[in-house]
Amino acid sequence: MDSNESGEEPAYQIKVDNLYKVFGRNPRRALAAEHVHKSRDEIQSELNLVMALRNVSFEVRSGETFVVMGLSGSGKSTLVRCLIRLIEKTSGNIFIDSDDVTEFSANDLREFRRSKIAMVFQQYGLLPHRNVLDNAAYGLEVKGMEKEERYTIARRVLELVGLTGWENSKVRQLSGGMQQRVGLARALAVEAEILLMDEPFSGLDPLIRRQMRKELASLQKELKKTIVFITHDLDEAITVGDRIAIMRDGEIIQLGTPREIIMNPVDDFVREFTEDITPSRVIEVGSIASPPPLTSRISETPDHVLKSMINAGVDYSICLDEEDRFLGMLRRNDLDRSQDIGNAKISDMFSIPSVHLVQSTTVEDAIPIISEVDTDIPVTNDDNRLLGVLTKSAVIQALGRPALAL
Amino acid sequence: MVHTKSEVSDDEDSPGSRLRIPSIISKISDDEDSPESRLRIPSIIAGIVAASILLSYLVHGIGDGLEFALDFPLNVGPEIERSLDDAIKWFVVTFGWFFDAVSHYVKLVLGKLRDFLIWIPWPIVMGLVFITAWRVATIRIAIMSLIGMVILASVNLWEPTMVTVAIMMVSVFISIVIGIPVGISAARNEKVNTAIRPVLDAMQTMPSFVYLVPGIMLFGLGNVAAILAIVLYSVPPCIRLTNLGIRQVDPSVVEAGKSFGSSQMQLLFKIQIPMAIPTIMAGVNQTVMMALAMATIAAMVGAGGLGIEVLRAMGQLNEGEAIIAGFGIVILAIIIDRISQGYIGTSNN
């Protein structure tokens, strides 16, 4: 099983093309051209077939967390099982690192499952007749790894998920959250690049859910896996996902970043989902920043800056270096009150504390800072170059009527 | 709405079987729940019954020329019986060498086992059973077993009991060795399952005597015939429950096992069999009990043990002795059952 034969990095790690899954006798009947515009219900009553997935196509980048979201029966669980061939497709292709998974022989499929991809299940799927350590090591055991080696790795991943000390406990002695962590440990132990998670936190109570999400986020920072995450909870989807695919009746009806979905729901169905989400959670300060009223260079004198402020009729200026990188903020009041303005260095006059926001910060996350400072706040990009300033009125607009804010 | 029932199976492009409700009834159910249609079906049935009775009277009344309707005209029974007889004779003669060999070895093993059990002094046997019962079940069961064994010994039934136990041990061993693998293959392979189900159904409805026949045919009278009968009688529950046990293993655990790249063998031995053990053990328990039940009947083909005691006593019209021997069987059954149930209990914890 060779990947990357051309020597080129594939743009996407997972690529699904026109995937169909139909349940029932002679399932391919449902793919005939005459049925293309029929609804799922019509196909069921006419052909006695269930169209679980209909022309599903999407791509997932390496290192991305891709969320598939939908209600029960939308096809999301079927989809994730098709990726690992626990369910066999009716038609379509699934490319993982340029290999078509649906064409794999039994041996190739086994190898694929043992090293490239790992899954975490909603109902945990742990072996009740074994203890925690053996469960975490199961994926390695199946590969034929020696006991000592796999126990060492298993202990390490159990530590990673915070279950040190529980190695010899039986699975049933653990709470739901802990059992799911064993499931997660088991998936991490095989060091697969791709992680499939089928509603992993749906069976847990809300506080534990939030905690698990945070832990997953911090693990993901370290491990940078490609994750396909299934959930029915939009809140969870936008917290966890880089991009979200919303499914209904077996089809993807909208695919986009959390922000795109909340700002531009494609129809009433999606809108109903997004209604409860406050936009401030997805609006980034970078998108609502306005041009700074005045900027100055580090090479200028304080005197000169003050004069520019008076001329422009503004209260502050933002000091930048030659490459437009943010250095500090200069307040007119501070310059006015200074005794020795002729001889002072401009850098001594920066207001303290010097706050600025990175463009990707969500409005929600920025609120604590906004409430501490009474002026506009500079917004920089990832290189610390100035993009603009965040005004309070922009924030209030974003909180209230997001469409206008943009 | 005309209803037709069709079997929908997952992922199969093979033609399945279709059950069609007879069209006459489906036409009737055209107006589904109107009061007229609710009366229609019972009245049609009543009409059919009445017509049948009238016709029957008619046939009897007319008599001449209609005898064929009273006595089925074809009778090939005797011919078939003769051919079967010939076939069986041929079979037994041709493969006699095989069955003789089997018979020889089974007798050997059984004989050694029986002699061994009788050779061990009774206090040691009782002690061993007591300790086993205690470890595997509760002290109460251990004491109860002890009392039972003392009773058996004090009415001069110790040796027959040991013989019965020996016969059972050999039979149950063979049953398990056959039953569990067959059960496993039926669980994993739908074809085997469909093939085997009617066989098991037939086996479990046949009267126990019938099992004696193959034994006598192939091995003549004696313990080996008895063992064959016992194996045939007691293997179905083992197969059934092993099959069931494996099929009922939590599918989400099996799914998880598959997702990590387990091979079929790994799934079977690491996940399915360990998780099916309670049900498999229940099957073994039933096998043991049925073996015991059959062991007594097997006395009729010359098996030793408690069964023959009952038979002999009955034949000699010694009701007292027959009752005692009968009770001996019951006591043995209770001891074995309690201990094996206890084992199932502890293996679940």
What are the residue ranges spanned by the domains of chain B?
Answer: 96-348
Pairing assessment for the beta strands A386-390 and A377-380 based on DSSP bridges: antiparallel
Round to whole Å and give the CA distance between A28 and A319: 66
B248 touches chain A (CB under 8 A): no
- Higher-confidence position of A1 and A319: A319
Checking if the pLDDT of B63 tops 90, the result is no
Residue B252's region, left for phi above 0, alpha for psi from -120 to 50, else beta, is: alpha
| Strongest mean pLDDT among A9-13, A274-278, B283-287 | B283-287
CATH 3.30.1330.10 for the A285-405 domain, yes or no: no
Checking if the pLDDT of B128 tops 70, the result is yes
Checking if the pLDDT of B109 tops 80, the result is yes
Q: Stretch A170-180: mean pLDDT, rounded? A: 92
Residue B63 CB partners (closer than 8 Å, separation 6+): none
Among B256, B257, B260, beta carbon nearest to A190: B260
pLDDT of the residue at B7? 38
Q: Stretch B278-298: mean pLDDT, rounded? A: 88
State the CB neighbour count (10 A cutoff) for residue B200: 17
Instruction: Please report residues of B whose CB lies closer than 8 A to that of A138.
Output: 257, 260, 270
Contact: B260, A88; criterion CB under 8 Å? no
pLDDT of the residue at B309? 84
Q: Stretch A169-179: mean pLDDT, rounded? A: 92
Check: CB of residue B259 under 8 Å from CB of residue B271.
no
Nearest residue to A266 via CA among A289, A251, A246, A249: A246
pLDDT of the residue at B33? 59
CA distance A68 to chain B (A): 19
Round to whole Å and give the CA distance between B204 and B212: 14
Check: CB of residue B102 under 8 Å from CB of residue B224.
yes
Q: What is the 3-state secondary structure (H, E, C) of chain A?
A: CCCCCCCCCCCCCEEEEEEEEEECCCHHHHHCHHHCCCCHHHHHHHHCCEEEEEEEEEEECCCCEEEEEECCCCCHHHHHHHHCCCCCCCEEEEEECCEEHHHCCHHHHHHHHHHCEEEECCCCCCCCCCEHHHHHCHHHHHCCCCHHHHHHHHHHHHHHCCCCCCCCCEHHHCCHHHHHHHHHHHHHHCCCCEEEEECCCCCCCHHHHHHHHHHHHHHHHHHCCEEEEEECCHHHHHHHCCEEEEEECCEEEEEECHHHHHHCCCCHHHHHHHCCCCHHHCCEHHHHCECCCCEEECCCCHHHHHHHHHHHCCCEEEEECCCCEEEEEEEHHHHHHCCCCCCCCHHHHECCCCCCEECCCEHHHHHHHHHHCCCCEEEECCCCEEEEEECHHHHHHHHHCHHHHC
Question: What is the DSSP code string of B167-205?
Answer: HHHHHHHHHHHHHHHHHHHHHH-HHHHHHHHHHHHHHHH
Residue percentage of chain A with pLDDT more than 90: 45
Checking if the pLDDT of B196 tops 50, the result is yes
> Token pair for residue B211?
């099992």
Mean per-residue pLDDT of chain B: 83
Give the torsion through C-alpha atoms of A133, A139, A141, A146, to 10 deg.
-80
Interface of A with B in 108-167 (CB under 8 A): 109-115, 118-119, 121, 123-129, 138-139, 141-143
B265 touches chain A (CB under 8 A): no
pLDDT band at A238 (very low <50, low <70, confident <90, very high): confident
Round to whole Å and give the CA distance between A89 and A92: 7
Round to whole Å and give the CA distance between A258 and A242: 7
Among B8, B256, B257, beta carbon nearest to A25: B8
How do residues A243-284 score in pLDDT, each as one tens digit? 999 999 999 999 999 888 888 888 888 888 888 777 778 888
pLDDT of the residue at B85? 86
pLDDT of the residue at B13? 42
Residue in chain A nearest B10 by alpha carbon: A24
CA distance B261 to chain A (A): 5
Cβ contacts below 8 Å, chain A against chain B, sum to: 83
Checking if the pLDDT of B206 tops 60, the result is yes
Residue A222's region, left for phi above 0, alpha for psi from -120 to 50, else beta, is: alpha
This model of the complex carries an ipTM of 0.76
Least confident of A55-64, A272-281, B89-98: A272-281
Q: Stretch B111-126: mean pLDDT, rounded? A: 88
Instruction: Please report residues of A whose CB lies closer than 8 A to that of B8.
Output: 23-25, 48
pLDDT of the residue at B15? 42
SS3 B122: helix
Q: Stretch A301-306: mean pLDDT, rounded? A: 84
Among A110, A121, A129, beta carbon nearest to B256: A121
CATH topology of domain B96-348: MetI-like fold (1.10.3720)
- CA distances to A45, A150, B21 from A201, rounded to whole Å, are 35, 26, 46
Round to whole Å and give the CA distance between B236 and B69: 40
CA distance A170 to chain B (A): 11
Round to whole Å and give the CA distance between A5 and A201: 38
Mean per-residue pLDDT of chain A: 87
| Annotated domain spans of chain A | 14-251, 285-405
Interface residue of A20, A26, A88, A127 to substitute, partner B, most B CBs within 10 Å: A127
Answer positive or negative: Cα dihedral of A292, A380, A264, A201.
negative
Q: Stretch A138-161: mean pLDDT, rounded? A: 93
Residue percentage of chain B with pLDDT more than 90: 28
pLDDT of the residue at A37? 85
> Token pair for residue A99?
């290999």
Checking if the pLDDT of A40 tops 80, the result is yes
Q: Stretch A91-113: mean pLDDT, rounded? A: 93
How do residues B302-347 score in pLDDT, each as one tens digit? 777 888 888 888 888 888 888 888 888 888 888 888 888 877 776 6
pLDDT of the residue at A9? 55
Report the side by side order of strands in the sheet with A377-380.
A357-358, A377-380, A386-390
Round to whole Å and give the CA distance between A296 and A317: 6
Beta bridge partners of A254: A246
B152 touches chain A (CB under 8 A): no
Residue type (1 letter), B346: T
CATH 3.40.50.300 for the A14-251 domain, yes or no: yes
Q: Stretch A230-239: mean pLDDT, rounded? A: 88
Helices B190-205/B158-188 angle, 10° precision: 150
pLDDT of the residue at A402? 52
CA distance A237 to chain B (A): 24
Q: Stretch B85-107: mean pLDDT, rounded? A: 86
Instruction: Please report residues of B whose CB lies closer than 8 A to that of A86.
Output: 255, 258-259
> Token pair for residue B237?
């529950």
